[in-house]
Amino acid sequence: MRLKSMFLACTLVAAPAAAADLAESIKADYDRRLGAMFVDFHRNPELSFKENRTAKILAKALRAEGATVTEGVGGTGVVAVLRNGDGPTVLIRADMDGLPVEEKSGVPWPSKVRQVGVDGLEMPVMHACGHDVHIASLVGTARQLAAAKDRWRGTIVFIAQPAEERVGGAKAMLADGLYTRFPKPDYALGFHVNSGMRTGTVSGSDALMYSSADSVDLTIHGVGAHGAAPHTGKDPVYIGAQIVTALQSIVSREIGPLSPAVVTVGSFHAGTKHNIISDRADLQITVRANDEATRKQLLTAIDRIAKGIARAHGVAENRLPEVKVSEGTPTTSNTPALAQRVRAAWTRALPSGTVVQFAQESMGAEDFTYFVQPELGVPGFYFQVGGTPQAAFDAARAGGPPVPSHHSPLFRIDPEPSIRLGTEAMTVAVLDLLRPAGSASGN
């Protein structure tokens, strides 16, 4: 697909000299290029490991800022290295995949895309989680930092990561040599736009940011029969219904009440016709926890309950349910010292009231955590940027429509304040971490 020349042109950005200049420079860049880039990304989302068009646009944009760019890392991932003398290395990550969701958000730039995913199924595709904000901001941050080389020393590694929604892209990039083929970072940074936060705010925790997430595929094997003669078979729908109900007892009766946990059955498929008892039922389950002990306890209990209920209904030992974790990611936790340092830099550089206290509002998950696992020795800081105007929250409280959640077909983000603040917050963080020795703190 031909890329619009407006996305490929290199437009000069004046190097910001102070905080106010940085904000103005980002606004000018948004008006000139980033806003249109966001709209293009939103209209043309791509599924996990299928982000070919998106990757090409990002690779071209990052090359235009003087970075050495490598494509196809971990599938469709892009790695861009920008060097500026001796100093630390900072990694900036943005995820770029969309979701198999049909857009009903009402924005003037909706996605009408359909795409065949890695599972072979053709689905409607939507940026229903804000990754279009992340990648537009990645380009904006690269442009600001490339124009401000007099203010930092070291190396910046920009990565456009595939398949965050399948929690596989980070692992794939690491397996493809992200930390051996390219400079290993001294710090890793990333952010997520949050529809549950008002625009103009940014927050990040000293510790836990996101829960663990595991996708569990549960296959129940029954014995097919006529619907009028259920006694001659083993009904996997009935067995599955009991399993679904029993799974809810894990959180309510096995997990301590002060340990957050979620077990949600999101999909239950079986059978082909009214009067046929199927010989198989397939369940898809998402499992969330805030610590590894609880995570293990949840997964162990799912396996025990599924097989125990099948046994109770006379299913043979060699046909007990199959329980498989197809995707999974640990909790995402920030490095305390790094989190405190970045927040201090924000407090100095951003307008009063911008930096707000972090509060975990749901048990969402992130595969950014793979870049900062303890055994890798890379400190990490992942933060949130508000994406919904205060007026939308006020309207919801007054009885108007609720603010849509992430992954909803109604999901929408106010792009300009989200991209501008995401870019500014990230730029401020990197300038602080790569501040030349002997220079004064502050942005």
Q: Residue 241: count other Cβ atoms within 10 Å of its Cβ.
A: 15
Q: What's the rounded Cα separation, in Å, for the pair 49 and 76?
A: 6
Which residues contact residue 101 at a Cβ distance below 8 angstroms, ignoring those fewer than 6 apart? 124, 125, 126, 128, 407, 408, 409, 411
Task: Decide if 97 is catalytic.
Answer: yes
Q: What is the 3-state secondary structure (H, E, C) of 106-145?
A: CCCCCCCCEEECCCCCEEECECCCCHHHHHHHHHHHHHHH
DSSP 211-246: -EEEEEEEEEE-B-EETT-GGGSB-HHHHHHHHHHH
CB contact at 8 A, 261 and 289: yes
Q: Which residues, in sequence order, are CB contacts of 271 under 8 Å at separation 6+?
A: 237, 277, 278, 281
Is 214 a residue of the active site?
no
Q: What does the H/E/C string look like for 1-28? A: CCCCHHHHCCCCCCCCCCHHHHHHHHHH
Residue 35: CB atoms within 10 Å: 16
Which helix (H) or strand (E) segment holds residue 41: the answer is helix 35-43
| Catalytic member of 29, 40, 46, 97 | 97
Closest Cα partner for 214 from 300, 299, 100, 95?
299
- d(CA 142, CA 164) in angstroms, rounded, equals 21
Catalytic residue among 95, 164, 165, 214: 164
- Could you give the residue numbers annotated as active site? 97, 164
